[in-house]
């Protein structure tokens, strides 16, 4: 099954799913990207509150 660049752009811009393109292959990352970006400190350390 193939998608045109326009279809990929439409899906990504409509927030239908989270897509990743790597070496020309398209991956649906929706199941893995459920939350926005976050900051995490090294193991056993806490990130500063101003971040």
Residues whose CB falls within 8 Å of the CB of residue 40, separated by 6 or more in sequence, listed in order: 47
Structural domain span for residue 13? 1-34
**How many domains does the structure of the chain reveal?**
1
Predicted structure pTM score: 0.49
pLDDT tens track for 25-40: 888 888 887 666 666 6
Cα–Cα distance, 45 to 6 (Å, whole number): 44
Q: Which residue, among 40, 16, 38, has the nearest Cα to 28 in the 3D structure?
A: 16
Residue 26 lies in a domain: yes
What local confidence, expressed as pLDDT, does residue 9 receive?
A: 82
Is residue 2 scored above 80 in pLDDT?
no
Residue 51 lies in a domain: no
Residue 42 lies in a domain: no
Residue 50 lies in a domain: no
What local confidence, expressed as pLDDT, does residue 26 receive?
A: 84
Residue 27 lies in a domain: yes
Residue 10 lies in a domain: yes
Residue 7 lies in a domain: yes
């Amino acid at each position: 099954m193939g998608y045109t660049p326009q279809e990929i752009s439409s899906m990504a811009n409509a927030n239908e799913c989270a897509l990743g393109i790597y070496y020309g292959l398209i991956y649906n990352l929706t199941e893995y990207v459920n939350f926005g970006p976050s900051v995490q400190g090294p193991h056993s350390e806490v990130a500063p509150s101003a971040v």
